[in-house]
Amino acid sequence: MNNIITKLFDIKHPIVQAGMVWNSGWKLASAASNSGILGLIGAGSMYPNILREHIQKCAAATNKPFGVNVPLLYPNIEEIMQIIVDEGVKIVFTSAGNPNVWAHWLKEHGITVIHVVSSVKFAQKAELAGVDAVVAEGFEAGGHNGREETTTLALIPMVCKAVSIPVIAAGGIATGRGMLAAMILGAQGVQIGSRFVASTESSAHQAFKNAVVAAQDGATQLTLKELTPARLLKNKFYDDLIELYQTKPTTEELKALLGRGRAKKGMFEGDLEEGELEIGQIAGFIDEVLPVSTIVENIVNEFNIASRELSNLTLE
């Protein structure tokens, strides 16, 4: 397939491996890029010097294009962006913030800029800010999420109607069938997160990967709407959060419970009780940890089988 997304990133398949905190280091990103999709390093969980190291190792491990995801709500953004430019990264995905501040500067440095949005309004703002494409991410996605709670199935057609730049669908997609469904709705590519958490090359702790595989329908919940909404795997920390919610907590009390390092503790160190475990609803459909190359192969095969089926689907 040769389309506007494969051309934009110079990749084989219009698939992006999401840049996820504590999951997407150079091993995952380079494995993704080497499999013909776009690999992204997740800068959100990295100190600037760690990010530099991951970019350098990723560049050494693949000669294919890769990018960096930068959540704009994290600190040290100036330093992070300077490192990205200095290290010659050509593709940046910004998320969780206003793209206006950075899109122009990054593009002046010759960088392709994509912004992650959760609503029509934010997609239009991103287009006005001059980004090259948007990732439109539905309510079912893991991690940080939109307040409108619009699902991928509803969001994609609305965003595609509202903007002229390419739309990459995210949230609830882990298979070739999910990818084809998103493209039927008008997306020109997909971003896949949860499926790559449960990959051999993800830097997630093995215990977290196992928890993703074990997760069933109903295992996650969008919460922390007063701070930044996040979809979490239900565990003891989540139960503590729900108990605190019963007392009608202030934002400060929520922040105090959340504390520091919860996401690292859960996803990177494997503390399934006290850690914050960010994952999408589609975890309920993922039942095996696989190498990235196998995941991509499976998606390609499923996509082709499903698209062949379409030629027989006609309403008369």
Q: Rule CB under 8 A: which residues touch a second copy?
A: 1, 12-13, 119-121, 138-140, 147-155, 157-158, 161, 171-173, 175-178, 180-186, 216-218, 221-222, 248, 280-282, 284-285, 299-300, 303-304, 306-316
In the complex with a second copy, the residue whose CB is nearer, 20 or 173, is 173
CA-wise closest residue to 87 among 79, 98, 96, 76: 79
Closest distance to a second copy from the beta carbon of 72 (Å):
21
CA-wise closest residue to 193 among 44, 5, 1, 11: 44
Closest distance to a second copy from the beta carbon of 55 (Å):
28
Q: How far apart are CA 176 and CA 167, in angstroms?
A: 17
Q: How far is CA 72 from CA 97, 123, 314, in A?
A: 5, 16, 45
Instruction: Decide if 245 contacts 225 (C-beta within 8 A).
Output: no
Closest distance to a second copy from the beta carbon of 297 (Å):
10
In the complex with a second copy, the residue whose CB is nearer, 58 or 185, is 185
Residues 6 or more apart from 294 whose CB is under 8 A from it? Answer: none
In the complex with a second copy, the residue whose CB is nearer, 35 or 202, is 35
For residue 249, how far is the Cα from the chain centroid? Answer: 29
Closest distance to a second copy from the beta carbon of 124 (Å):
10
In the complex with a second copy, the residue whose CB is nearer, 61 or 154, is 154
In the complex with a second copy, the residue whose CB is nearer, 217 or 240, is 217
Residues 6 or more apart from 288 whose CB is under 8 A from it? Answer: 198, 213
Closest distance to a second copy from the beta carbon of 78 (Å):
32
